Structures are given as C-alpha cells and as structure tokens.
Amino acid sequence: MTLPAISVSKLVKRFGTTTVLQDIDLEIPEGKVSCLIGPSGSGKSTLLRCLAFLEEASEGMITVNGEALGFFENAKGVRERLPAGQIRSVRAQIGMVFQQFNLWPHMTALGNVSEALKTVHKVAKTEAEDRAMIQLRKVGLENRAGHYPSQLSGGQQQRVAIARALALSPKIMLFDEPTSALDPELTGEVLNVMRDLAVEGMTMVVVSHEIGFAATVGQQISFLDQGRLLFTGAPSDVFAKPRHPRLEQFLDTYLDRGASMLA
C-alpha cells in the first residue's frame, strides 16, 4: 500500500458564511488520473484550489506526499498555520493548469516556460531555455517558442501553460477545466497532451466536463454535488447501474457531450 499523493481529511471551506465544501475526505492515488466531476457550482474548482493552496481550507487537513500543506495539527490537535517557506516547498511538488490558461502576456511561449527556472531556481538563461524547449517540444509547440500568447490559439496557449507547469518537474498536476474555455475543435490537442502525461504515469487531478476523457483516461472518479463528495470509485462503477440518483441525473445531462459510447 503506497502513500497517497494527496490526502484530504475532513476538509471544510467557507466563503464568509456560505459553506462551499463540506466534510471532504479524499485520497489521490499516486501515478494515476483522478477526475473530479459534478454540476457547475458544486465546488470542484474550490476543492482543486485548496489542493494548490490558492484557497485556504477553513477546517481539515491536506497532506501532499505525507507533508502537511498550509496547516498542520499540533500535539493538542489544534490547527496551526505553517510558514510561507514551508507552503512554497510543499507547493513546489504541484503544477496547476487553469481554465483561462493564465499565460503572462508580456513573455513569449519560451519565456513563460523558462521564467520560473530563471527567476526562482536561478538556472542560467541558456540552460533554462533548453529545458523549456524540451517541454515545448513535448506539447508539440517547439515551432511556436517565440510567439506571444496573443499570437497563439487557445489550444496552443493551454499547451504552453501545461509546458510551463511541467518545466518545474512537479510530482502532481492539477487541471481545472483545461478545455472549457476552448472552441470544441481545439479541445482534442489539449486532451491528447494530457493523455500522454497519464501514460507516463503522472499523478493528475482533473476537473472536467469531458466525461469521455474521465471515462477513458480517468482511473478514479469523484462526484461532487453541492459541496459534498457523494461518490468516489473506479470509472466502471460510476457508469454502472444502479447509480446514485444525483449522479444519474448529472450523467444524463452530460453524457451527450461525447461519451455516448459508454451508454
């Protein structure tokens, strides 16, 4: 039994007085693709952002490869905040891909991918760019290295964003609806890059409405509804019958989006 890559226990997230996530217990297995599905507004992004510590959980614990992220419980069981340096070092194991790509517009594709190597890790410019180039090649964009984000299609921008995260050799990659800002004909190129990553054994957590991707690439599926995890299991269980009534209703709404082969 290997240690889970990420382990979430009793996580609660409130924004002011509204509770957005309630009693989340979740283990993300290492080397596998875990998908987070659920209706819009169910808290998927918030949960993923808690895993990246872009949001601070109100209660509960998250550990990444056994190390506490952001907060730890002291001997008396009281939750304490960890120092910023500690948060940064745990976070360094995590790469994040956003729905809106979030590429830096004043840097070329190569600049976006090599920037953190240069600025944060103090790698020499030529070496950083060589390493960035390897990542761009991996996502099929070596011939776009000198292009600025404004000169790239949405699909290309998202692939650069994936390369940017990969350049720092993360152990875990988080994806928040990586294809939902894209025109339908551009989703394939991004999903293919993600498929390649999955084949390489990258630990991935993917929030997606691409049920087809979840069913074919996903190895663990979690269903979130109104801030609660209603179900976590293998894809075959998710799409098997009988299903949880809320999951059934959700799948009925989304199955026509390219997963009809599973019906």
Partner 1 sequence: MSFKLFTLLVQASVWTIGISAISIAIGFLIAIGLSAALLSGRRAYRRPAEFFISFFRGVPLLVQLLLIYNLLPFIGLNVPSIVAAIIGMSLCTAAYQAENLRGGFESVPKGLVEAADMVGFSPRQVFVRIKVPIAMRLTFPALVNEAIMILKSSSLVSVVGIVEITRMAQDLASSTYMPIEIFSAAALIYLVICWSVALAGRYGERALPGAVK
Ligand X SMILES: Nc1ncnc2c1ncn2[C@@H]1O[C@H](COP(=O)(O)OP(=O)(O)O)[C@@H](O)[C@H]1O
Count residues binding partner 1 (CB under 8 A). 29
Cross-sheet strand order for the sheet of 18-28: 18-28, 6-15, 59-64, 67-68
131 binds, among Mg ion, ligand X, partner 1, none (CB under 5 to 8 A by kind): none
- CA atoms of 28 and 18, how far apart (whole Å): 26
20 binds, among Mg ion, ligand X, partner 1, none (CB under 5 to 8 A by kind): ligand X
43 binds, among Mg ion, partner 1, ligand X, none (CB under 5 to 8 A by kind): ligand X
Based on the shown chain and the rule CB under 8 A, indicate whether residue 106 belongs to the binding site for partner 1. yes
Strand, coil or helix: 33: strand
Based on the shown chain and the rule CB under 8 A, indicate whether residue 149 belongs to the binding site for partner 1. yes
Q: Which stretch binds Mg ion (CB under 5 A): 7-15, 45-53, 125-133, 197-205?
A: 45-53
Angle (nearest 5°) at CA 189 between 187 and 191:
65
Based on the shown chain and the rule CB under 8 A, indicate whether residue 83 belongs to the binding site for partner 1. no
Alpha-carbon Rg for the chain in angstroms:
19
Based on the shown chain and the rule CB under 8 A, indicate whether residue 12 belongs to the binding site for partner 1. no
Least distance from C-beta 249 to partner 1, angstroms? 31
Q: Hey, how many other C-beta atoms are within 10 angstroms of the C-beta on 5? A: 23
Task: Give the length of the chain.
Answer: 263
Least distance from C-beta 177 to Mg ion, angstroms? 6
Nearer to partner 1, 171 or 244 (CB): 171
- CA atoms of 1 and 15, how far apart (whole Å): 36
Q: Which stretch binds partner 1 (CB under 8 A): 34-42, 66-74, 99-107, 181-189?
A: 99-107
Least distance from C-beta 127 to partner 1, angstroms? 17
- CA atoms of 228 and 70, how far apart (whole Å): 22
Q: Which stretch binds partner 1 (CB under 8 A): 6-14, 65-73, 117-125, 227-235?
A: 117-125
Strand 59-64 versus strand 6-15 pairing type: antiparallel
